Structure 1
Amino acid sequence: MSHLIGEFDCKLDAKGRLMVPSGLKKQLPSVDVEGLVINRGFEKHLTIYSKTEWDKISEELSHLNQYEKKNREFIRYFTRGSSELSLDASGRVLLPKSLLEYAEIGSEVVLSCQFNKVEVWAKEAYELQMDDEPENFANLAEEVMGSKGRSINGE
């Protein structure tokens, strides 16, 4: 799977349905057949994966030693609320009410593509998160990526 790109402002209808933007749907050509999976993100947001990507994550989780408490807890919290999503004839997905409540999502959302997943944020929460950019992003980039022996923009 190629990496997903883009940021999309969307609105949910009164029933909690999200119209998948055409620019995102083009990046997920098999979504009509395989579907999607949504779960809780690490912050107060939701995360959508293609079913293929979710299966890879599930396989990885299945190899954790479930005799260790921290592994069981991680699996439990990571998969809590996970649900399959299917596109309807109009290209919409119904987001589970319990997940919308968890992420405090109202009608306005931002879909933010992050490599193999799409983060779903309440618009206000996303804007707050992005407004909290580190004072010196270049220092953060050096700290996180500097030891990798390459740069993001080729410099």
Structure 2
Amino acid sequence: MTHFIGEFECKLDTKARMVLPAGLKKQMPEVERDGLVVNRGFEKHLVIYTMAEWAKKQEELSKLNTYDPKVREFIRKFTRGATVLSLDSANRVLLPKALMAYAGIQTDVVLACQFNTIEIWSKEEYEAQWENDSSENFSSLAAEVMGGKDI
């Protein structure tokens, strides 16, 4: 399993294409051959998956009980808008307009690596998350989430 590292600021061109940063592309050599999948995140952002990771998500979803209405609703919401991204000759990917609208993405974005996925945030939204954050808030969150865990 690949765990991506880094945070990258990018600009979209007028056609909503984004150059995949070289430092990120090096972490996923299979991207030129296999492509990527982009989809909505749980908050107002997008998530990029490698094809291998997306296949794992699809496998997980296929094992859920589709006779349950909540499961069907979740699957619809989770997969809504999922789009295959291919790199062009200039290492750019074209972000779908509907997904950009969902995430409030205009021109400036931040790619934030989260283990085996990459989140795409509008730069403004990403920075707003940190404006009122303090080290005390982070410390409390760490204690709540990680405290008492045998890792």
Give the aligned residue type for 1:142: A
TM-score w.r.t. structure 1 length? 0.93
Give the aligned residue type for 1:89: S
User: After the TM superposition, which residues 6-155 of structure 1 pair with which residues of structure 2 at under 5 Å, given as runs?
Assistant: 6-133=6-133, 135-150=136-151
- Report SS of the residue matched to 2:14: coil
1:110-153 alpha-carbon deviations (Å, 9 max, x no partner):
00000010000000000011224364311211110112224xxx
- Report SS of the residue matched to 1:10: strand
Give the aligned residue type for 1:145: M
Structure 1: where are the runs of 5+ without partners? 151-155
- Report SS of the residue matched to 1:37: strand
- Which contiguous aligned blocks of 4+ residues in structure 1 show a shift greater than 6 angstroms? none
Structure 2: where are the runs of 5+ without partners? none
CA–CA distance in structure 1, aligned partners of residues 59 and 131 of structure 2: 36
1:64-123 alpha-carbon deviations (Å, 9 max, x no partner):
100111111111001110000000011000000110111110000000000010000000
- Report SS of the residue matched to 1:28: coil
Aligned residues: 150
